[in-house]
Chain A
Amino acid sequence: MLLLPAMCLLVTFTHYPVVKTIARSFYGFGTKWESKATLDNYRYLLEDEVLMQVLYNSFLYAAITVPVSIVLAIAMALWVNGKMAGKGLLRTAYFTPTVLPMISVANIWLFFYSPEIGLLNKLLGVFGHGGVNWLGDPSVALYSLMAMTIWKEAGFFMIFYLAALQTIDQNLYDAAAIENAGKWTVFRRVTFPLLMPTTLFVLVNALLNAFKLVDHLFILTKGGPNNASNLLLYYIFENAFSFFDTAYASALTVLLLLVLVVLALLQFGVIEKRVHYR
């Protein structure tokens, strides 16, 4: 009974459209419905060279942005939690990107990255370097996107670590001090293990975001050049809305779903265990 309102909404806005999407991936052709189910859309999935590139990009993107954001977030939280002067200001600085809407900061980053007039290349120019085509060079573009993603996310995750750090019992540190443990040892043996639940929470968020957050692609690269920075969700958008190929987009959506289900199952397995231990 308590579950009912939530379930109603979930069914309306998640399950029903998902079922329709799955049906479309078998029965669809372009934006139309066919009377017979085929595997055509999936067959095309296998032949699609761009998709292979996109999948590779997506995994690389997640594999780099997630750990880097988390490590930075922990470092930030430790700094801001310490006794450093001016930590209030630092805290604000780290947190700012979270408040700025992606759609407008992406434009500002576009300026940083733009080759002739952009800030990064002007800085490089001071050192006599000819500059990099940050978004126009296929071997760099994806990493430029990652940098922006990390900038946007790390401060957000920091807040969670900050809260977790406050819950750690000061006695543990006192005990460690008596044993004359080094800073690094304390972090490794005391702080980090105690942050584990937070890390898991952040990890779930970060991983899902890595596949969900593509707003900046619309402004910065549109997946280019030559798909060098294309990500799975953006590719789905392209298929659905630029190519009018809802059916193939549906097949891709099913693929994305499978990827996320597998990822999520792995994580929930771990989280369930953690919670039982507590």
Chain B
Amino acid sequence: MWMKSVKQIALAGALCALSVPVFAKTELTMFYPVAVGGALTKIVDGIVADFESENPDISVNAIYAGNYNDARVKALAALQSGEPAQLSVMFSIDVHELMDLDAIVPFDDVVSTQEEKDWLAGFYPALMENGVVEGKTYGVPFQRSTIVMYYNKDMFRAAGLDPEKPPTSWEELAEVGTALTKKNADGNVAQWGAMIPSTGYAYWMFGALTKQQGQNLMNGEGNETYFNHPKVIQALDFWKDLGSKYAVMPEGTIEWGTLRQNFLEQKTAIMWHSTGNLTTVKKNADFDFGVAMLPAGSELGSPTGGGNFYLFKDADEAERAASLKLVKFMTSPEQAARWSIATGYMGVSPAAYETTELTEYVKTFPPAAVARDQLQHATAELSTYQAGRVRKLLDDAIQSVLTGQNTAEEALNSAQKQAERILSRYK
């Protein structure tokens, strides 16, 4: 009998404790694209857990939603149906469309204190280009990259080249590539000089080639493209020539997803790829490899890439403040350094590279700084209104040229014409 009453008292006590919370928790839902492999979730979870222990009044529900595309589908579906979602990491180039959908708010409206304003001003300017529209910052950089050149030093040595001198210009790339391309007894190529991927993100790679010609693909407002500019056509001709004229690269398209494996299997001496792959390459390469800036045409250049933080419009005061706190935490120098070391993505602010962790890391592993050094030559990634469709026009044009269906001039003229028609509404 007394057991029962003890139990009842205990139960009542427990209920009281439950029904009178000490403080109201702010719950955040964050969509996060896992485009870099499963292990990434652990890293993000770790950072989020640290954040929660520092801010016990906020709980974060990080939802991993596949690649950038899947994440966008999920986030939009959630938004349109009124499911709660306060922030998300999405493609940096989605900004125009998210604005068009009236889904996001600029960070400028949320930051208030001087300290917060300083934080917003503390990122690398090149990384802000895709996030700033009409003078307002909609995207804060987090999972950001540039394209770098990975090369196999062992192969350089075997071909009698200086492993500390990767090609620095287009001419050198063709020359070095020729020296590195090896055929077997049947006359088939056993080892390629270089590979630039042309599926998945062809427009991104192409952005590097055009920047190296000193030409951007679009204007800052995102309502004009320059696809058939003579320099752009030259850039595509060069890409095509690497396969057909110099024969240092396979003809046809080169698959983005399997390229890293090609490099690790030593089927190609050079690959252009995202810095986001650096840590994986480092972990898996059983040969001596180097990382360098992309070679120059008339100048050096690469577009930035990757994902930014966005704040969704549909949130109350407390949630918004909490979201800002979270974004600030995740982009703080310490976390950015930790993130960069774990993945190869860039530390997003100069301060990140001043942390002892990242300074040490760069000292022992110099390739980790290449992406940062390249930033001063970087430009924005192709981003316009109706970005998906415009991007696809360019992707298709590039692929049709690389597979020999079309000449660069024809393909780019037609892409430009269609892009103009799509964008005419936004002028």
The answer to whether the Cβ of A197 comes within 8 Å of any Cβ in the partner chain is: no
The answer to whether the Cβ of B117 comes within 8 Å of any Cβ in the partner chain is: no
Which of B386-405 touch A at CB < 8 Å? 386, 388-389, 392, 395-397, 399-400, 402-403, 405
- B388 near A111 with CB under 8 A, answer no
- A116 near B101 with CB under 8 A, answer no
- A227 near B257 with CB under 8 A, answer no
- A138 near B267 with CB under 8 A, answer no
Main secondary structure of the interface of A (DSSP, over half): loop
* CB 8 Å contact bits of A7-49 with B (1 = contact, 0 = none): 0000000000000000000000011000000000000000000
The answer to whether the Cβ of B265 comes within 8 Å of any Cβ in the partner chain is: yes
Minimum CB–CB distance from A53 to chain B (whole Å) comes to 10
- The complex places the Cα of A138 from the Cα of B400 at a distance, in Å, of 9
Residues of B contacting A67 in the complex (Cβ-Cβ under 8 angstroms): none
- B73 near A226 with CB under 8 A, answer no
Residue of A nearest to B103 (CB): A31
- The complex places the Cα of A83 from the Cα of B396 at a distance, in Å, of 53
| Residue of B76, B255, B396, B397 contacting most chain A CB atoms (<10 Å) | B255
Residues of A contacting B252 in the complex (Cβ-Cβ under 8 angstroms): 115, 133, 136-137, 225
Also in contact, A224 and B395, with CB within 8 A (given A114-B255, A128-B188)? yes
In-complex Cβ contact of B267 among A116, A128, A136, A224 (8 A): A116
- The complex places the Cα of A135 from the Cα of B258 at a distance, in Å, of 12
* CB 8 Å contact bits of B231-274 with A (1 = contact, 0 = none): 00000000000000000001111110110011001011000000
- The complex places the Cα of A238 from the Cα of B395 at a distance, in Å, of 14
Residues of A contacting B221 in the complex (Cβ-Cβ under 8 angstroms): none
The answer to whether the Cβ of A193 comes within 8 Å of any Cβ in the partner chain is: no
The stretch that binds B, out of A153-161, A184-192, A242-250, is A242-250
Residues of B contacting A243 in the complex (Cβ-Cβ under 8 angstroms): 386, 388-389, 392
- A136 near B403 with CB under 8 A, answer yes
The answer to whether the Cβ of B199 comes within 8 Å of any Cβ in the partner chain is: yes
Chain B, interface size category, equals 35 or more
Residue of B nearest to A225 (CB): B399
- B97 near A133 with CB under 8 A, answer no
Chain A residues within 8 Å of chain B by Cβ, number: 32
Also in contact, A116 and B268, with CB within 8 A (given A30-B100, A225-B253)? yes
Residues of A contacting B226 in the complex (Cβ-Cβ under 8 angstroms): none
- A117 near B101 with CB under 8 A, answer no
Minimum CB–CB distance from B425 to chain A (whole Å) comes to 10
* CB 8 Å contact bits of A133-148 with B (1 = contact, 0 = none): 1011110000000000
In-complex Cβ contact of B101 among A50, A227, A244 (8 A): A244
- A137 near B389 with CB under 8 A, answer no
- A242 near B69 with CB under 8 A, answer yes
- A244 near B403 with CB under 8 A, answer no
Which of B376-392 touch A at CB < 8 Å? 386, 388-389, 392
- A136 near B257 with CB under 8 A, answer no
- A226 near B97 with CB under 8 A, answer no
Residues of A contacting B392 in the complex (Cβ-Cβ under 8 angstroms): 238, 242-243
- B265 near A136 with CB under 8 A, answer no
- The complex places the Cα of A76 from the Cα of B72 at a distance, in Å, of 43
The answer to whether the Cβ of B186 comes within 8 Å of any Cβ in the partner chain is: yes
- B400 near A226 with CB under 8 A, answer yes
- B399 near A226 with CB under 8 A, answer yes
Residues of A contacting B265 in the complex (Cβ-Cβ under 8 angstroms): 116-117
- A222 near B188 with CB under 8 A, answer no
The answer to whether the Cβ of B353 comes within 8 Å of any Cβ in the partner chain is: no
28 A-B pairs within 8 Å (CB atoms) are namely A110-B257, A111-B258, A114-B258, A115-B250, A115-B252, A116-B192, A116-B267, A117-B258, A117-B267, A129-B188, A130-B186, A130-B189, A135-B253, A136-B254, A136-B403, A138-B400, A138-B403, A222-B199, A224-B199, A224-B253, A224-B395, A225-B199, A225-B253, A225-B402, A226-B405, A238-B388, A244-B386, A245-B389
List 17 additional contacts besides A242-B389, A245-B389; criterion CB under 8 Å. Answer: A50-B396, A110-B255, A114-B258, A114-B261, A116-B262, A116-B268, A125-B188, A138-B399, A222-B199, A224-B399, A225-B199, A225-B399, A225-B403, A238-B388, A241-B72, A242-B69, A243-B386
Nearest 10 interchain pairs by C-beta: A136-B253, A225-B399, A242-B388, A243-B388, A116-B267, A133-B252, A136-B252, A226-B399, A114-B258, A226-B400
